[in-house]
């Protein structure tokens, strides 16, 4: 086997964000910053300090995902993303147990909500020889690794954006479960940039888990009330959302409704969940993304400003806002040439995404493009 390098970009979340797990339309802009993984032939799978023989890989790949997560817990967290992709690819018979040393290099900032984990996963899969399979399947396998091996309950948005999208163009992605529309160029003279807030984002953190679980709690309640079922939270009828509770204790939900139907989150009986806001967000963001596409097609960047503001307010309402993100948005919107700004990705700080005239923020350091 020769050496193979796989690469993938980060992404900026123009609209959509956490609405991906609700089956909404999301609008993503891959960055010019990339992550690369070099695979060099070796006598084991070597990732940082971790070495797994072929026999160990086979054994791990046949464990239940619960047991596999427990087995990998002692390893450095970043290595679990890489090893997780390798094990899923072996488990799904995409590749044979790899005997390579993997070396990672990355320009994509970590823990700021611009999809550094998805970039690492897709770059790893490509370095391991899976780059020839359908990109949407590749993205789904990488999501499986993050959900089931790492234990982070992300939607499909990030993996598809970095596997399929083109830097600087808007990729419309309908997360039902994942279908892409043709990429759109941004209006002339307009750019999308990321402004890190300084507050680290973690998709496995409690605010994200709470908001996601709350959305599926809302669907479960509406389905019981209407004696109907919906495959996607974003497809729930608007008139049914008003009857949902603003907040609901986990214990009360479990006592009356039991499971949510979401297999990557659980309801904590001691937690209080923002049910109405989290459930409503998916459908509202889906409609905002559709309206934004119309505006982009007529080259009207300014029309996205109110849509981004409403999305930002939605993040705050379901507990995914952050004081640092609020301060950043307020500062950005006071600047000339800025059309809109919002909390993005998984929220809770991370990066504020900005739509602006090209060069309007060139005096700002550490921008992500």
Whole-prediction pTM: 0.95
Spell 91-103 as b/e; 16+ CB within 10 A means b: beebeebbbbbbb
- Banded pLDDT at 108 (limits 50, 70, 90): very high
**Mean of the per-residue pLDDT values of the chain:** 96
Confidence of residue 203 (pLDDT cuts 50, 70, 90): low
Query: The domain 4-185: what is its CATH number?
Result: 3.30.230.10
Q: Which helix (H) or strand (E) holds 346?
A: none
Q: How confident is the model at residue 1 (pLDDT cuts 50, 70, 90)?
A: low
| Preceding peptide of 177 cis, ω within 30° | yes
CA-CA distance, 222 to 318, in Å (whole number)?
A: 18
How many other CB atoms are found less than 10 A from the CB of residue 242? 8
Q: Are 209 and 151 in contact (CB under 8 A)?
A: no
Q: How confident is the model at residue 202 (pLDDT cuts 50, 70, 90)?
A: low
Q: Measure the CA angle with vertex 116, ends 114 and 119; round to 5°.
A: 115
Helices (H), 165-274: 206-226, 238-241, 250-256
pLDDT in tens, 254-306: 999 999 999 999 999 999 999 999 999 999 999 999 999 999 999 999 999 99
Q: Are 188 and 299 in contact (CB under 8 A)?
A: yes
Q: Which H or E run includes 338?
A: strand 338-343
Q: What pLDDT, in 10s, does the model give residues 113-170? A: 899 999 999 999 999 999 999 999 999 999 999 999 999 999 999 999 999 999 989 9
Segment 298-343, tens digit of pLDDT: 999 999 999 999 999 999 999 999 999 999 999 999 999 999 999 9
Report the pLDDT value the prediction gives residue 165, as an integer from 0 to 100: 96
* 221 has a pLDDT exceeding 80: yes
Helix (H) or strand (E) holding 98: none
Q: 97-101, 203-207, 281-285, 336-340: which range is least confident on average?
A: 203-207
How buried is 243 (Cβ within 10 angstroms: 0-12 exposed, 13-18 middle, 19+ buried)?
A: exposed
The percent of residues above 70 in pLDDT, for the chain, comes to 98
In this model, does residue 62 exceed pLDDT 90?
Answer: yes
Helix H or strand E encompassing 147: none
pLDDT of 208:
94
What burial class does residue 363 get, using C-beta atoms within 10 Å of its C-beta: 0-12 exposed, 13-18 middle, 19+ buried? Answer: exposed
Residue 252: pLDDT band (50, 70, 90) is very high
The pLDDT value recorded for residue 200 is 77
Q: Give the model's pLDDT for residue 198.
A: 87
On the question of pLDDT at 63 being above 90, the answer is yes
DSSP letter assigned to residue 178: T
Transcribe 255-323 into DSSP letters. HHT---S-TT----TT-EE-HHHHHHHHHHHHHHHHHHHHHHHTT-GGGHHHHHHHHHHHHHHTT---H
- Over residues 230-249, the mean pLDDT reads 97
């Amino acid at each position: 086997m020769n050496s193979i390098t796989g690469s993938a970009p980060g992404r900026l979340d123009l609209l959509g964000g956490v609405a991906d797990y609700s089956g909404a339309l999301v609008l993503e802009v891959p960055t010019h910053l990339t992550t690369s993984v070099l695979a060099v032939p070796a006598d084991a799978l070597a990732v940082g300090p971790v070495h797994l023989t072929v026999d160990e890989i086979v054994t791990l790949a046949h464990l239940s995902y619960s047991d596999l997560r427990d087995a990998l817990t002692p390893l450095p967290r970043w290595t679990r993303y890489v090893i997780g992709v390798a094990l899923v690819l072996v488990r799904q018979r995409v590749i044979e147990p790899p005997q390579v040393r993997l070396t990672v290099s990355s320009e994509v900032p970590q823990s700021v909500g611009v999809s550094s984990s998805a970039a690492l996963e897709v770059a790893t899969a490509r370095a391991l020889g899976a780059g020839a399979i359908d990109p949407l399947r590749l993205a789904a396998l990488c999501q499986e690794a993050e959900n089931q091996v790492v234990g982070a309950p992300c939607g499909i948005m990030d993996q598809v954006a970095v596997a399929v999208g083109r830097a600087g163009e808007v990729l419309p992605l309908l997360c039902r479960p994942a279908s892409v529309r043709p990429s759109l160029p941004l209006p002339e003279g307009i750019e999308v940039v990321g402004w890190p807030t300084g507050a680290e984002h973690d998709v496995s953190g409690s605010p994200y888990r709470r908001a996601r679980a709350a959305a599926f709690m809302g669907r479960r309640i509406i389905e019981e009330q209407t004696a109907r079922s919906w495959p996607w939270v974003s497809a729930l009828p608007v008139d049914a959302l008003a009857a949902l509770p603003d907040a609901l204790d986990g214990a009360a939900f479990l006592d009356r409704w039991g499971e949510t139907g979401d297999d990557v989150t659980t309801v904590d009986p001691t937690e209080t969940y923002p049910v109405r806001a989290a459930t409503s967000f998916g459908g509202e963001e889906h409609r905002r993304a559709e309206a934004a596409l119309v505006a982009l097609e007529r080259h009207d960047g300014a029309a996205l400003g109110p849509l981004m503001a409403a999305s930002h307010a939605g993040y705050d309402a379901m507990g995914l806002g952050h004081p640092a993100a609020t301060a950043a948005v307020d500062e950005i919107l006071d600047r000339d040439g800025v059309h809109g700004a919002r909390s993005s990705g998984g929220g809770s700080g991370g990066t504020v995404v900005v739509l602006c005239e090209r060069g309007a923020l060139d005096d700002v350091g550490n921008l992500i493009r």
